[in-house]
Amino acid sequence: MYTFELPEIGEGVVEGEIVQWLVNPGDDIAADQPVCEIMTDKATVEISTPKGGRVVTLHGDPGDVIQVHTPLAEIDTSGSSAPAKKAKPAPEAKKAEPAPAAKKAKPAPAAKKAKPAPVAKKAEAPLGFLPGPNTTPASVQAAPRSAETKATPAVRRAAREQGIDIHAVSGTGKGGRVTRGDLASFNQGATPKAPVAMPQVKLPEVIPSGTERREKIIGLRRKIAEQMVKSRFTAPHFTYVDEVDMTRLNDLRKGLKARAAERGVKLTFLPFIMKALCQTFRDYPNLNSNVEEDPLTLVVKGDVNIGIATDTPAGLFVPVIKNVEQKSILHIAAEMADLTQRTREGKASLDELSGGTFTITSVGAGGGMFATPIINHPEVAILGINRMHDRPVVRDGEVVVRKMLYLSSSFDHRIIDGMVAARFKTSLKGILEQPESLLLDMV
């Protein structure tokens, strides 16, 4: 009997939360096959067993936090069959049974295929399905588990989002596993094994009057909650809001969009704002720093590593663009598009989700004028970008329409005083309103 323990996932990671099991007791698994998803402080990762065999016992339930080197599963590697949930063999399987002289041989695989589909377990979440705030019993049952198609939870989720029937995709990965590349090929017209099922429209859940729904907060949502509480009650926040005239920067970006498109880059405002931050940090270096709590120490960084708060199907992540001060605006735009997309797909590495010195959160696309963003501890400040809007303003004694943007920033008051924050924002505002200096960092 082999006891599979939670391995060391990364430097400094001492525990993880079980998000979901990818196998069940009685399953026959191969070496290097993922058995569960574990959530750490940095990311969600699949944990694979180094040995194959039959799963006898699983330790822990989704939502349980376990320490590194704690048993995850007991696996029978002896080759003998552990008690398994088998269906009565179909008549065809009986005909395939070996002659009496070969009784010691392993049962034919055809008998295993007669196992009832796990979709019959209506109370159990389907393989690869990550419960979230909008999870309902109906939505769980609508995504049946496949006993034949092999794919990671992230790939299954991507297939659902793209409206692809994953059973119709030929897997080219290890052991016939379906990969993201297989989904892309399928979308481009690869020969399907079966017609693609149309995606079902999910209607909003209605909670009947007089009833309630209770959900255990687990996984990424719990990690977000813990981090927000830690930051909010460790760093005394104060928020400073300023209004920026983005008209000239908007015109500048429009004039450069075609040039960027020639290089396959979609040019947004964020790379310009990131480079403006780099210029501002030269005069206010303490804003580009981390705080160590015991003893209380300010670590001022020479590298500008800016995190971009990114909304993903699994929740909020903050991928980090490293060494922004050394990169051009087009380079930043291309890297940001690639990294945020891989983050949404669950493919960003732990290193790409850590090491930030300053964070930008943009809620402008969702509307709204002001915000009070929470600092991404141990950083000392965060910049919130709100919705840009046309508004009449007075310029040289005349009323004109300009493109105005509110920037909402929060600061750690232990480190940053109010006047320092005001001067920092005024400096940043000046660069954004007269953005020609940013052209030096264009290519």
C-alpha count within 13 angstroms, C-beta hemisphere, residue 196: 17
Which amino acid type is present at position 392? P
- For residue 42, what pLDDT is reported? 63
C-alpha count within 13 angstroms, C-beta hemisphere, residue 126: 25
Asked if residues 271 and 280 have their Cβ atoms less than 8 Å apart, the reply is: no
Task: Say if residue 428's pLDDT is above 70.
Answer: yes
- For residue 203, what pLDDT is reported? 65
Task: Say if residue 86's pLDDT is above 80.
Answer: no
Of the listed 59, 167, 389, 413, which one is catalytic?
A: 413
pLDDT tier, 201 (very low <50, low <70, confident <90, very high otherwise): low
Residue 285 in tokens? 């270096």
Greater pLDDT, 111 or 72: 72
User: Strand 65-67 and strand 237-245: pairing?
Assistant: unpaired
| Residues 430, 235: Cα–Cα separation, whole Å | 28
The distance of Cα 145 from the centroid of its chain, to the nearest Å, equals 23
Greater pLDDT, 307 or 129: 307
Has 413 been annotated as catalytic? yes
Instruction: Kindly report the average pLDDT of the chain as a whole number.
Output: 80
| Residues 90, 307: Cα–Cα separation, whole Å | 57
Mean pLDDT across the stretch 354-377? 87
Mean pLDDT across the stretch 324-351? 92
- For residue 28, what pLDDT is reported? 93
DSSP E strands in 228-300: the ranges are: 237-245, 289-292, 297-300
Greater pLDDT, 34 or 191: 34
Asked if residues 166 and 153 have their Cβ atoms less than 8 Å apart, the reply is: no
pLDDT digits (tens, 9 = 90+) for 102-125: 444 444 444 444 444 343 333 333
State phi, psi for 113 to the nearest 5 degrees.
Answer: -70, -15
pLDDT tier, 45 (very low <50, low <70, confident <90, very high otherwise): confident
Of 218-222, 251-255, 297-301, the one with minimum mean pLDDT is 218-222
- For residue 4, what pLDDT is reported? 94
| Residues 151, 162: Cα–Cα separation, whole Å | 15
Task: Say if residue 139's pLDDT is above 90.
Answer: no
Mean pLDDT across the stretch 76-93? 52
Work out the percent of the chain whose per-residue pLDDT is above 70.
Answer: 77
CB count within 10 Å of CB 71 equals 14
pLDDT digits (tens, 9 = 90+) for 396-423: 999 999 999 999 999 999 999 999 999 9
Q: Please, which residues have CB within 8 angstroms of residue 288's CB and are 6 or more apart in sequence?
A: 281, 300, 301, 304, 357, 358
C-alpha count within 13 angstroms, C-beta hemisphere, residue 342: 16
pLDDT digits (tens, 9 = 90+) for 302-317: 999 999 999 888 788 8
Burial of 84: CB neighbours in 10 Å, binned 0-12, 13-18, 19+: middle
Of 154-163, 165-174, 187-196, 241-250, the one with minimum mean pLDDT is 187-196
pLDDT tier, 174 (very low <50, low <70, confident <90, very high otherwise): low
pLDDT tier, 188 (very low <50, low <70, confident <90, very high otherwise): low
Work out the percent of the chain whose per-residue pLDDT is above 90.
Answer: 48
State phi, psi for 375 to the nearest 5 degrees.
Answer: -60, 140
| Residues 158, 180: Cα–Cα separation, whole Å | 8
Longest dimension (CA), the chain: 103
Asked if residues 357 and 318 have their Cβ atoms less than 8 Å apart, the reply is: no
Tokens 């919705």 identify what position? 387
Give me the numbers of helices (H) and strands (E) for the chain, helices first please.
10, 19
Q: What is the pTM of this model?
A: 0.61
Q: Could you give the 3-state DSSP secondary structure of residue 178? A: strand
Mean pLDDT across the stretch 131-145? 32
pLDDT digits (tens, 9 = 90+) for 207-240: 888 899 888 887 777 878 888 898 989 999 999 9
Torsion of CA 227, 232, 233, 238, to 10 degrees: 160
Q: ∠ CA 245-248-249 to the nearest 5 degrees?
A: 90
The full set of domains in the chain, from first to last, is: 1-83 (2.40.50.100), 133-204 (4.10.320.10), 236-441 (3.30.559.10)
Q: Is 154 left (phi over 0), alpha (psi -120 to 50) or beta?
A: alpha
Greater pLDDT, 183 or 106: 183
DSSP E strands in 310-369: the ranges are: 310-312, 315-317, 320-321, 358-362
pLDDT tier, 244 (very low <50, low <70, confident <90, very high otherwise): very high
pLDDT tier, 153 (very low <50, low <70, confident <90, very high otherwise): low
Residue 139 in tokens? 């939505």
